[in-house]
Structure 1
């Protein structure tokens, strides 16, 4: 049922809108949170001894997926330049591997003119992914994994090229904003004329200065990322490709969605209206049916008037997995655009007017099986669509990890 339709919970939606918003604004869904049986997420041990704070670079899988989210993350999309071939891409990935093996451990790369800035990587991790467009541009779609297919269009999207796509995508995370900017510059410089810059999107989370899987609050004040797959190996089938994927074993998939949030109209709502749209209490993130943040919601509970306590079109109700595999690992970050105009209503024709939003990163083994069904439900009837619109979307295959002597992408690009 859509937000503007009639039905058992339509009156409450009209009340919700009447409390602060005169008309429903068209927008797009974004998976801002989810609900369902909570699973504990194991956080990787954090280094507390003096000296560089490092994240291991080598391993079967790349860092930055199950690594606890750092305070700052930026995603950098590059396109292969005209005339670049497969050998050029391999060369860039080889150089990046050599540099990242050093930078992430606090060791300056060989061609570094300011090595003193590399001494503390501050939990730096860099994750490298390839879009389907990279294989198409090289004329080698035969090398693309079969599960790397473009996402379908969603009715509520208002995607812009300046925030979407990319042949090569880097996720650069660190507790230091300076480190993320410095590593971006180093990697783009190393790629040279093989690539051209497409976009950069930078996000932050807090308040902890240390990496943590603790839930965060987005710009709506909503507790974000309550229900997550386990990262200790229990839910590996949801996050990583297995041996049946051949050379792509230990790969993953990144879905990055840029969600503009209309704070002007959201802030006109009272607390009850906001909670009705979300399906959770703002104060502690608990479902409206009670308990704590990780208490499973009761979607069938009714109030004294016989209406469901949790609106079926609330964000939480729409985001709940219908099948066991409809789960994915969320790494949400907030963004602001300094100096941007955040006045007026947010419509799909005026998406640039919102200076605030969410960079929603989801990791999973198969986006079409795990992510797409959830996003379709949200696009159909999520109350938060009134205040949000998705302006950017990117899907990439996260390359398998590497061991000493290997290069990123070496096995999957062997063609």
Structure 2
């Protein structure tokens, strides 16, 4: 039986564990995989693919005037590869890839919807492209129930095109402890051993809700004056607001970190993790929900993205209302004062992500869709 020729088209990506995992785990007896990378941020994924002997084409389309040329290059590559399936990821790759695949007569045109309401709320012109993509695709992968709802109810996408495939992870990467890495991170970010340590891994953009965590932590300092707030991915277009809030905290009580590569070990430094998006539809998925629970960190969440699909208050996390700093404070306080509850939600969190978000499950679902899409 001939292998199914599968072409991934991805844009604006650098280091990307998800695509590395897929490359390593995809059944090579069934699928012949290649990549087209559009406007890569760096060479990380390209170099990984070359090292794994996966064919890869890199092209650049920095503005819409470059799109016609890019579409023709993709078209020629798909024809050369005799592609059976294209699977597009992220904004430019999805539109350019689906147009080229339609022109090339590719029978299975799949894209994964990685955003939820972003265009509807912040970039209304982008909704036109979302609807175009929905029309060009033969199959749409929704990464959460919330994204499926937006596709159907907000954009009129046919339900029979949509398949729910949540992200999968190598959860063991977040479960294991690397004491050397943890020790190095503590020396870097908490050399004096402050406690409790509260962690946030969110860009400084309005919808991530960091502006409700900082005042909650300020209040927590009254009860726990030696507490430490660690803010990772601390950059974005809402910096001016959050940085003003941080000025109200003692300088030694927080650290704002733009980038930290060892995020899986960061979780092991934390007593509490917080993720507080301001609306249910802001996150499309929110992988840090899964990562924090896999790492066993007692967590405080608002329910956005994938969270409503599996988070239950005081079973696997403490759930708080949107845009409510007082509720975030109370949740932190209860986890710190009730050790039994803290241990229970940490245990429940680990149990709730096992299986449901395993890499094996995601790969099984993807491969099943690929086979169905060409038969």
TM normalised by structure 1 equals 0.24
Normalized per residue, the structure richer in helix is 2
Q: Which has the higher contact order (CA 8 A, sep 6+)?
A: 1
TM normalised by structure 2 equals 0.26
